[in-house]
Structure 1
Amino acid sequence: MELWLATGNKGKVNEYKIGLKELADLKIFTQADIPSFTPRPEDGKTFLENAQIKARTLKAVKSGVWVLGEDSGLEVEGLNNLPGIHSARYAGPKAADSENIAKLLKMMTIRPIANRKARFVCSTVVFTPDGAEWHFDGVMNGTISTKPVGQLGFGYDPVFIPEGQTQTLAELGPGFKNQHSHRAQALKAFLEKLKA
């Protein structure tokens, strides 16, 4: 099975490699393996629309293979579900994870927000080799910590405490994340459909 991932995010690629390791004959490639590939702007209004943009753009140059595109992000209740689809560029188009986290924590202190409930959301679009379009979703609920803690993971992991836990995702590490995250849930649904 040849699967192409419509992402340039190394953290996501690693999570997919771990999450799909049970597929013995799987060969994973990414858009970075196509020298002249140019991703389209993620200008959708939802996570699903952005996932479709990514998957369709890659499918246009890689037909007849499995193609997976996903969009995910953080929604904070007290910020009217921001940063949402702008999670990766919350502090600017080329913002580092640390800059996005700093802006998030600053926005939560500008007008003190008592409600720190948040959730990670993932929308995944998979194109089969014959062109069928599959959709899978995942959600992980939690709260936002008052400061970043932990060195593992990427994105907002250092400030996200999953429901029922006392540590951030960046402290809990990849073992926990690869079992319980929003992306892991969508991936499990994909694997279940593959086996059906």
Structure 2
Amino acid sequence: MAADMDEFWVFGYGSLMWNPGFRFEEKRTARAFGYRRSLCVHSWVHRGTERHPGLVLGLDHGGSCIGMAFRVPPAERTEVVDYLRERELVTHVYKERTMRVQLSDGRRVPALAYVIDRNHVQYAGTLKAEQAAATVATAVGKSGNNREYVLNTLAHLREMGIRDHWLEEVAANLTDGTAASAQA
């Protein structure tokens, strides 16, 4: 199935999935190939500080990622792109990209997405679930504690019927006390 080339889609893999912040005409579960959802961004403001960074989601290379794709009304494209740039490019840890995603109905469409810049100082790299949990366990930033961010993200993913086994493993380490003992 081919998509209309005039359509404008946005792919979300984190909070954009349940809190896009813009108007859309259609929303579909979608898969991005060649990228995975990962707690790979050191958060120095919202979920940690520069001295005690937390971790937030990034779209990193490897695997595939199930998220949500939003079709934006053509007349609102510029407004939505401006909004997303203000929201996502604050410290430029993400790069704006257009990538093909496969929608739940089988269509493949180009979608605007924000992927991690692996050369940025805030890139945490590939972490084991235990390492990520140890970082998340005690980090706090201006938007709240990092533990709540991870558990809230996982709850939203579950509500949407999306499994993220790695993030579930991070959460299991947070709730069984492993992360706390790793910090000691």
Q: TM-score band, normalised by the shorter chain?
A: under 0.3
- Larger RCO, structure (CA 8 Å, separation 6 or more): 2
> Greater strand percent: which structure?
2
> Greater helix percent: which structure?
1
Taking structure 2 as the reference length, the TM-score comes to: 0.26
Taking structure 1 as the reference length, the TM-score comes to: 0.25
